[in-house]
Amino acid sequence: MEWPTNLDEYEKLLIRMATPRVMIDNAACSNATRVMIDSGRKHGILLDAVQVLTDLNLSIKKAYISSDGRWFMDVFHVTDLHGNKLTDQNVLSYIEQSLETAHYGRSKSFEGLTVLELTGTDRVGLLSEVFAVLSNLHCNVVDAKVWTHNGRIASLIHLKDNDSGSPIEDSQKLDVMEAMLRNVLKGDNDIQSAKICVSLGVTHAERRLHQMMFADRDYDRKPIIETCDDSPVVSVQNYLQREYSVVNIHCKDRTKLLFDVVCTLTDMQYVVFHATVDTSGDKASLEFFIKHMDGSPISSEAEKQRVILCLQAAIKRRASQGVMLELCTSDAKGLLADVTRTFRENGLNVTRAEISTTLDTALNIFYVTDAMGNPADPKIIESVRQKIGLSILKVKELPMIYHQKGQRDEPTMTTGGTMLLSLGSLVRKNLYNLGLIKSYS
C-alpha cells in the first residue's frame, strides 16, 4: 500500500487496523481456493467476511478462525457452487476488493423502493392473498424473500408504485395497505402476533429475515408438521480453563450454512474468538469458542438451551421442504398474484420464495408442498405448469444434499442467490456496474 506523505506511523497503524488484508492462494490446496483475511478484531467482523463470500455464491468447505488480542485471522477454503476452484483472475480480484471494502450488515441497494416487513402464522394461500392485496393497490413487487419455519412466516418485500414507478410515499395509501395486510396476516387466529411495518431496508436482507423470525420466537414454537429429516445436533459446553463457551454443530451441509450460524450468534450478542468448519460429502461439523460481549461465558443451563434452540432454528429456516419451481418470464402487472393464486387453487403451499426483477424480467423461485407439508403430487405440479405455461414455470431438481427428487426439465440449478447466476457472470455484472469493465455486447 502506498501511503500519503503527510501520514505518521500511528495514523498508518489505524488505517491498517481498519482495513482487512486479504490474500488469495490457489496453490496450497488441491481442491479449493484459500482466502485469508487478517484484520483488527471488532464485533461482527467475522459475519462481515462470511456475508461477502456467501453473497458471491461461494461454497465454504473449510474454515479456521482465530483471534489473538486485537487481531483476527480468518482462513476460508472456498469453491464455486459446482465444487471447482476459482481461477478467473477477474473473479479473484473482485473477491479481494469486496472483502477489503465490505461494510458490516449492509444490504444491496434498494433505493427508490418501499420496503415491507411481514410476520405471521403460515397457512395455505397466505402468500397469494398478500400479493393480491398489493396488486389491487397497484403496487409492483420488485424483489422479495419469504421464509417459513415452525408454522411461522417472515417476508421482506421491496415494491414501487405501478403507475409512477416511484416509491410509495402516500401516507393514506400506506395506511390502507398496512390495514389490509394486517387483516390478511391475522387470519382467524393470529390476532396478537401478526406484524407489518415499513422499514428503511438497510440491513442485509437474509440477516433481517433471521432477525424477524428470532423476534417472532419461531425457535420456541413446536412445528405444526413433524418432518422426518435429520435435525441439526447442537451442543453447548463451558471450557472453564479459558472461560469460553464451546458450541458444536453437526448437520447436513448446504449453501450459506456458516452465514446462518454466524449471523445468529452475532445478533444474540456473542463474540466468536475461535472456530473451525469442516465439511465432508453432505455433512458439516462446526465448532465455535464464544463469549458474551463483556468477556464472560454462558452462565446458565437455560441460556445454553436457548442457544441450542436458536441455532437449530437458524439452520432449519433455509432448509425448505418441497419441490423447487422456477418462474422466468417478462414482468407484468399482477404476475405474482396470478401465479400464487394458481398455487393456492391447486392446494400447493409455498414454503419459501425468492423473487427478483431485472430489466423487466421476473426470475422467481418457489418451494411448494401440498397443504399438509408433504411432497406435492407430480400430477398436480404438471397441471399447475400447464395453467401457468410449461415454458414459463419449470421444475428444478433440489440440491443433492436434501435427498429429494423432482421432475427435471433441464440441468440442476442452485439457489445460492436470488439472481441464480453463476459466480463468473454475477461478478462480471458487478464489475460492469462498478465501471471496472466495459460491455462488449
Q: Which residue pairs from 184-192 have beta carbons closer than 8 angstroms and sit at least 24 positions apart in sequence?
A: 184/126, 184/129, 184/130, 184/133, 185/118, 185/119, 185/120, 185/121, 185/126, 185/130, 186/120, 187/120, 187/121, 187/123, 187/126, 189/121, 190/120, 190/121
Evaluate whether 56 touches 96 at the Cβ level (below 8 Å).
Answer: no
Q: How far apart are CA 137 and CA 142, in angstroms?
A: 15
Most confident residue range from 7-21, 309-323, 415-429:
309-323
Q: Higher-confidence residue: 6 or 179?
A: 179
Taking only the tens place, the pLDDT of each residue in 311-353 is 999 999 987 678 999 999 999 989 999 999 999 999 999 999 9
Which pLDDT belongs to residue 13?
57
Kindly report which listed range (49-58, 220-229, 358-367) carries the lowest average pLDDT score.
220-229
Q: How far apart are CA 374 and CA 376, in angstroms?
A: 6
- Residues above pLDDT 90, as percent of the chain: 60
Which pLDDT belongs to residue 407?
41
Which pLDDT belongs to residue 400?
40
Closest to 84 in 3D by CA, of 388, 422, 330:
422
Name 22's Cβ contacts closer than 8 Å, sequence gap at least 6.
35, 36, 37, 95, 96, 99, 100
- pTM for this one? 0.83
Tally Cβ neighbours within 10 Å of residue 10: 8
Taking only the tens place, the pLDDT of each residue in 114-173 is 999 999 999 999 999 999 999 999 999 999 999 999 999 999 999 998 888 888 888 899
Residue 104: is its pLDDT beyond 60? no
Over the chain, what is the mean pLDDT?
Answer: 84
Max intra-chain CA distance, the chain? 72
Q: Higher-confidence residue: 54 or 6?
A: 54
C-alpha cell at position 433: 456496474
Kindly report which listed range (14-18, 69-73, 260-264, 398-402) carries the lowest average pLDDT score.
398-402
When pLDDT is averaged across residues 176-191 and rounded to a whole number, the result is 83
Residue 70: is its pLDDT beyond 60? yes
Q: How far apart are CA 13 and CA 2, in angstroms?
A: 13
Residue 186: is its pLDDT beyond 90? no
Residues of the chain with CATH 3.30.70.260: 114-203+320-410
Evaluate whether 384 touches 393 at the Cβ level (below 8 Å).
Answer: yes
When pLDDT is averaged across residues 91-98 and rounded to a whole number, the result is 91
Q: Higher-confidence residue: 201 or 74?
A: 74
Residue 188: is its pLDDT beyond 90? no
Supply the DSSP symbol for 65.
Answer: E
Which pLDDT belongs to residue 7?
60
The band of 260, judged by pLDDT with boundaries at 50, 70 and 90, is: very high
Taking only the tens place, the pLDDT of each residue in 361-400 is 999 999 999 998 888 899 999 999 999 999 999 998 543 4
Q: How far apart are CA 384 and CA 72, in angstroms?
A: 51
Overall fold of domain 114-203+320-410? Alpha-Beta Plaits (3.30.70)
